[in-house]
Amino acid sequence: ILAVVTILGGGYLLAATLLFLALVAYRELMKACKLSGEGKKLSALEINGYIGVLAYYLVMVFVPDRIYLFLAVVLILIGFMFIYVFSFPKYHSDQIMSAFFCVAYAPVMLSFIYLVRELPYGVYTVWMIFISSWICDTCAYLTGICIGKHKLAPILSPKKSIEGGIGGIVGAALLGGIYGMVFDLDIRGCVILCAAGGAVSQIGDLAASAIKRNHNIKDYGHLIPAHGGILDRFDSVIFTAPVIYALAITLM
């Protein structure tokens, strides 16, 4: 219900919702990477990240020229390097790179939901992010149960199969085509967007799992009952949104 209300509303409502999700996801990832401060105290890296994410979203909403989003990301990196240099040797270079990754991985990539929504016909195109992510996940699960034999990533996720992955992509593409027919959109474009989104969504899911395995955690957080944290629920969407944006501005 919240997704429907915020996405249909768009504008400031959607941007504010995504900013909240981005900040929570950033906090979850910083904790997973053991870069957060002790207790309620924020580390300098966290502070720079929070300020940077807030600035990035303000630029996204209030500055029409999208080149400034790239500049905002660069300035966030410079901020991390500033902390690295003037607090040396408090932080190791690996920590600086990880902190910047925490900004780019969730907050920046989540922002593409807003960017897709702001495109011409974005009120329709934005739903393909979720079709290609969540429908692919469902179809992959069902296909894997029925005919899955060959492991997709045997060490990382033993239950996922190549057959399931293909089934997920096909399912997302089919529903994308139906979606295009119902709303009188470019059917070919919808199929391509959802198929590509479905393929990359599986990488997003596995990537989030790999990070958890590396840091020996079960869930990123406990914000969403029965799902975990923001990153646990939006791991595939984080990857899908930029791909849908890139293909939408190219094909539709």
The secondary structure of 183-236 as a DSSP string is TT--HHHHHHHHHHHHHHHHHHHHHHHHHHHHHT-S-S-SSBTTTBSHHHHHHH
Q: Answer for the pair 94, 18: CB distance below 8 angstroms, yes or no.
A: no
232-248 pLDDT, tens digit per residue, is 888 899 999 999 999 99
Residue 224 is predicted with a pLDDT of: 66
9-23 pLDDT, tens digit per residue, is 999 999 999 999 999
Percent of the chain predicted with pLDDT > 90: 76
Q: Answer for the pair 167, 200: CB distance below 8 angstroms, yes or no.
A: no
d(CA 13, CA 97): 32
Residue 251 is predicted with a pLDDT of: 86
Residue 243 is predicted with a pLDDT of: 96
Spacing of C-alpha 11 from chain mean position: 19
The one-character DSSP state at 42 is P
Q: Residue 169: name the closest of 196, 148, 142 by CA.
A: 196
Higher pLDDT, 192 or 217: 192
**Long-range CB contact pairs, 49-52, < 8 A, 24+:** 49/76, 49/80, 49/99, 49/102, 49/103, 50/23, 50/26, 51/79, 52/76, 52/79, 52/103
Give the SS3 label for residue 11. helix
Residue 227 pLDDT class (50, 70, 90 cuts): low
Does 93 score more than 90 pLDDT?
Answer: yes
**CA distances for 232 relative to 21, 25, 150, 196, 229, angstroms:** 12, 9, 25, 21, 5
Give the SS3 label for residue 157. strand
49-75 pLDDT, tens digit per residue, is 999 999 999 999 999 999 999 999 999
Higher pLDDT, 121 or 219: 121
